Amino acid sequence: MNKTVLKTVLGRNKWFAGLPPELADGILRLGRVRRLNDALIYSVTDCADGIVALISGQIRLTSFSVSGEPSFLVLTSPGSWIGVTSALDGRPHGYDAFAIGETVLFQLSHERFNSLAGESVEHYSAFVRLLCDHFRVTTQYLIIHRNRRPLYLLAHELLRLADRHGKRTKNGVVIELRLSQEDLAVMIGVGRQTINRLLKSLEQDGIVTTSYTSLTIQNVKALERLRASENPDEV
């Protein structure tokens, strides 16, 4: 794949876009492109396999409870990096990463990651900043999910998905992801019956429509009002 294309996609990430030119060029020089189709990238027990960026397609990050039920689910967008925690501390990832459909990845192997990170304090600090970015997002996620009601959480997640994966059409913003109601339920931490009820409420209000393969946000402003509300009504 052309390095100019790679640099453009990776540059969507503020962390990569802000790297010193020599480090960004080193990552592009030493990394390799991988193409997967519905395949495991790494498992919860894997470790020390470097860091991975999504170039195109979809990556699903999932962890499971003791009973085998999914307890955490995140979808990444092109330009996002995963695996940095394990790359830095050498411990298992703690979650599965799966390529959904035809997916193009850019991977910096653990050996080459260590080589770049060890070249200077500035390089190592840059990778630590990436970890800090992930930590801040996680903290914000926990705060939101601890203090908000399900309808707010659904509005927040749908707008996030629309921003990262949505396509504007004459009918609204279409989110074309292989995303089931069960997936949405896990993402916001509710049961399937609750997510079904919430989606039906949004459909009745003309805010969203759902189909087997996609979800369309017909009224983005109404969804933004729900997200902005401090105490949205539960359905």
Q: What is the pLDDT of residues 169-199, one digit of tens each?
A: 998 999 888 788 888 888 888 888 999 999 9
Please, what is the average pLDDT of the chain? 89
Quickly state the pLDDT bin for 69 (edges 50, 70, 90): confident
Asked whether residue 233 is assigned to any structural domain, the reply reads no
Residues 52 and 104 in one domain: yes
The angle subtended at Cα 32 by Cα 30 and Cα 35, nearest 5°, is 170
In this structure, what CATH number is given to the domain that contains residue 192? 1.10.10.10
Q: How many domains does the chain have?
A: 2
pLDDT tens-place string over residues 141-162: 787 777 678 999 999 999 988 9
> Quick check: 34 and 83 in contact, CB under 8 A?
no
pTM: 0.79
- Judge if 28 and 67 occupy the same domain: yes
- pLDDT band, very low/low/confident/very high, at 230 (cuts 50, 70, 90): low
Task: Please say which residue of 145, 163, 181 terminates a domain.
Answer: 145
Find out whether 117 and 44 touch, Cβ atoms under 8 Å. Answer: no
CA-derived radius of gyration, the chain: 19
Tell me, yes or no, whether 153 and 129 share the same domain: no
* Beta-strand relationship, 81-82 and 166-169: unpaired
Which pairs count as long-range contacts for 26-32, CB under 8 Å and 24+ apart, including other chains? 26/116, 26/119, 27/108, 27/116, 28/3, 30/108, 30/109, 30/112, 30/115, 30/116, 31/106, 31/107, 31/108, 31/112, 32/106, 32/107, 32/109
Q: Dump strand ranges (E) for the chain.
A: 32-42, 51-64, 70-75, 81-82, 96-108, 166-169, 172-175, 208-210, 215-217
pLDDT at 191: 87
pLDDT > 70 in the chain, percent: 97
Range of the domain at 170: 149-228
